A and B are shown apart, each in its own frame.
Chain A
Amino acid sequence: MPVEKDNFIAVIKDNQSLIFKICYSYCSNPEDRKDLQQDIIIQLWNSFTKFDGRVKISTWIYRIALNTAISFYRKDRKNKEKIVSMDTSLISLPVFGPNVEQDERITLLYKYIENLNEIDKALILLLLEDKSYREIADILGITLTNVATKISRVKKNLKKQFNNN
């Protein structure tokens, strides 16, 4: 078990930025973000032994993390019971150095993502992560043609949104 947990920690460490970005995209409230982060890690741990390597580890993480975010954080959680009870953040917030222009663009991107529905959020995140059409189709469970149609629509929307700002 300790070796298994060490392996798990190594996987989480390698992919912590992915988990962080998903939490940030799905929860605007810092408390909810912390809960989601912990819940994703718990869901990953619970299925870690069942990971058989048939898909890439990042595909496996995306599926679990996005499914957790969409299923349990779809609506405002302020009235919902806390799913986990840890008080400390497992992945702590970074302190960035000064790069105002980039931070503004990232804030704007997150703002754009915040206004999308849950499924479109997943799509845009995968797109920004530079995933191939095949990977996006595998993670989302849609056809390649469907991915292409959606990406073309997202491109237009992004262009419109960012040229207006």
Chain B
Amino acid sequence: MELNDLKDIWMQYDKRLKSSLKLNEELLRLINLEKHNRALRKPLRLELLNMMIQIGMIGLTIYFVIQLSTERFYLITGAIACVMCTISLIFSAIKVSRLYDLAYYHLSIMQFQKEFIQLKIFIMRLRKIEYNIASIIGITLLPLLVKATAGIDLLGHLTVLIPALVFVLGSGYSIGVWLNLIVYDKSLKDAEMFLSLLNKFSNEE
């Protein structure tokens, strides 16, 4: 069978579809399409939420550090936590900006798919870094939070501080290994494979 025969069959099928398909106009008129979630809005909302959390954490850390500014240890840990939260905030802002810029109504399939998959790879790489930053934030914030909220100086309670740090580091490491192996590395590999397929497709002449 030749391509033209298949085209003819497809055209006949299209004619039959056109006469049989029914668009639910009433439903389409009733629903507010703008209110429904757009696929791209989900990661955007996640990043905006992340930004708000980071801003809150920076504010709270600064407040606690000011309260405990006379103690050098808390000043240093607080400053490290603030710097790490700011880096995370900058990463989230970059992701939000890139997600806002992505619009596909005027782009060809190759252009959009390449941009989309490159953005996906970029976001996953940033998330891997962010995960490591989160561990540092956890470790540096823990003694500060305990001191500021409960008044307990963990430096004077090493029997509590050491197991707590071991717990934070141990669980963080386990989650990190799982995230890297199962989520990020797998998704990155898949995204990179798709990108190479796109490149192969557009370069094949």
Contacts and interface: CB of A to CB of B under 8 A. Distances in A.
A94 interface: yes
B114 to A, nearest CB: 9
Interface stretch (B51-59, B127-135, B171-179, B194-202): B194-202
Interface residues of B, number: 51
A89 B37 CA distance: 17
A27 interface: no
Contacts of B111: 141
Contact of B6 (A38, A39, A66, A162): A162
Nearest to B20: A94
Contacts of B3: 127, 154-155, 158-159
B28 A41 contact: yes
Contact of A71 (B16, B18, B113): B113
A16 B55 CA distance: 46
B35 to A, nearest CB: 10
Interface of B: 1-3, 6-7, 9-14, 16-18, 20-25, 27-29, 31, 33-34, 36-39, 42, 103-113, 116, 190, 194, 197-198, 201-202, 204-205
Question: Sorted from nearest, which 3 A-B pairs have the closest CB atoms?
Answer: A141-B108, A94-B20, A47-B105
